[in-house]
């Protein structure tokens, strides 16, 4: 299955977006170590994994690009709207997770993806993606900024997008076994192919620009706030919820593992240090009670 001209163009634009976002985070944390790894996929294609390590602002982060082709499309990637016997596929995407050093800076996630298959249907392609925010100590102004930015970019394309994609985000990023949302929401969308391809392409690229601009504003406001050991402990406990979601429910993780992708890149989204404990003192219990008001 040969790459279409559209796929080649989108692949190139995703690479440029990855570079833009890498440069954006580098400007926010000049002390961070950066490790870049080019890798190849077993049946064709590959990617560039970029890991941020031990920074003053970013404790650990990943900003990954991939473009792969395969013979069997994993169930975790099958779009509901795609009909027919789908086997061969091309997939490209950008995936980002940032775990900040300061507990008062929220964790964030962003990804976009584009698929093409060998289905005989005219709609044998689709886009997906989204972004969400996972704070440990909630600042309502940050949450409002996050959602206002999401609403604005959606309204530029469709009056229904924000309501639909915000709802899908809340439903998707949900730890069922904990009966709580992973964070304070954002956008989640998949199977986008009901408009012209350029329409959806421009939308997902604009979500990337919006993510970087909005999250950068939040980082700048919170990165120098003083914290102590108990704040860090609470951050590490709540990071455990993030790990639970990514390993149990996340379709991106499942797709990577089911498709035989590079394990180091797939699991790079995991935080650097986590605590699981059922024992909480009065202060930790208070932190959790305040956070759950927003979950």
CA distance 103 to 222: 9
Is the pLDDT assigned to residue 13 strictly greater than 60?
yes
* pLDDT exceeds 80 at position 261: no
Query: Closest by alpha carbon to 96, among 168, 24, 198, 11?
Result: 24
3-state secondary structure of 79: coil
Element spanning 62, H or E: strand 58-70
The model's pTM is 0.94
b/e sequence 98-113, b meaning 16+ C-beta within 10 Å: bbbbbbbbbbbbbbbb
Give the chain's radius of gyration (CA, Å): 19
5-192-263-19 Cα dihedral, nearest 10 degrees: 60
Which pLDDT belongs to residue 127?
97
Of residues 12 and 43, the one with the higher pLDDT is 12
- Integer Cα distance of 63 and 238 in angstroms: 22
Residue 149 has pLDDT above 90, yes or no: yes
Residue 5, pLDDT above cutoff 60: yes
- pLDDT digits 0-9 by tens, 63-116: 999 999 987 666 655 545 455 566 688 999 999 999 999 999 999 999 999 999
Q: How far is CA 123 from CA 75, 93, 113, 138, 148, in A?
A: 18, 19, 16, 41, 32
Residue among 109, 147, 200, 231 flagged as catalytic: 109
Residues 248-276, mean pLDDT to the nearest whole number: 88
- pLDDT for the residue 126: 94
Q: What is the Cα–Cα distance from 72 to 251, expressed in whole angstroms?
A: 16
Q: Check if 200 is active-site.
A: no
Residue 213 banded pLDDT, cuts 50, 70, 90: very high
Average pLDDT, the chain: 93
Q: Which domains does the chain have, with CATH numbers?
A: 5-292 (3.40.1500.10)
Q: Specify the pLDDT at position 41.
A: 87
The yes-or-no verdict on residue 154 having pLDDT over 70 is: yes
């Amino acid at each position: 299955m040969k790459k279409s001209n559209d796929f080649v163009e989108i692949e190139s634009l995703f690479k440029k977006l990855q570079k833009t976002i890498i440069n954006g985070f580098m400007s926010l944390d000049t002390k961070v170590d950066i490790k870049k790894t080019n890798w190849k996929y077993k049946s064709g294609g590959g990617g560039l994994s970029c890991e941020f390590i031990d920074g003053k602002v970013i404790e650990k982060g990943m900003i990954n690009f991939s473009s792969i082709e395969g013979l069997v499309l994993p169930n975790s990637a099958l779009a509901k709207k795609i009909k027919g016997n789908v086997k061969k596929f091309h997939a490209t995407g950008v995936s980002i997770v940032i775990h900040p050093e300061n507990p008062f800076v929220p964790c964030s996630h962003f990804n976009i993806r584009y698929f093409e298959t060998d289905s005989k249907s005219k709609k044998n392609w689709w886009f997906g993606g989204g972004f969400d925010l996972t704070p440990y100590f909630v600042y309502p102004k940050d949450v409002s900024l996050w959602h206002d930015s999401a609403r604005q970019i959606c309204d530029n394309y469709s009056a229904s997008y924000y309501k639909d994609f915000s709802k899908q985000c809340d439903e998707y990023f949900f730890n069922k076994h904990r009966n709580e949302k992973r964070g304070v929401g954002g956008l989640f969308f998949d199977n986008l192919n009901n408009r012209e391809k350029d329409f959806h392409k421009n939308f997902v690229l604009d979500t990337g620009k919006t993510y970087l601009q909005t999250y950068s504003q939040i980082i700048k406001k919170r990165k120098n706030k003083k914290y102590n050991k108990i704040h860090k402990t609470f951050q590490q406990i709540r990071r455990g919820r993030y790990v639970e979601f990514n390993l149990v429910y996340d379709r991106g993780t499942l797709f990577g593992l089911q498709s035989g992708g590079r394990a180091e890149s797939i699991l790079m989204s995991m935080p650097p240090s986590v605590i699981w404990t059922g024992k909480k003192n009065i202060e930790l219990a208070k932190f959790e009670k305040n956070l759950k008001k927003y979950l």
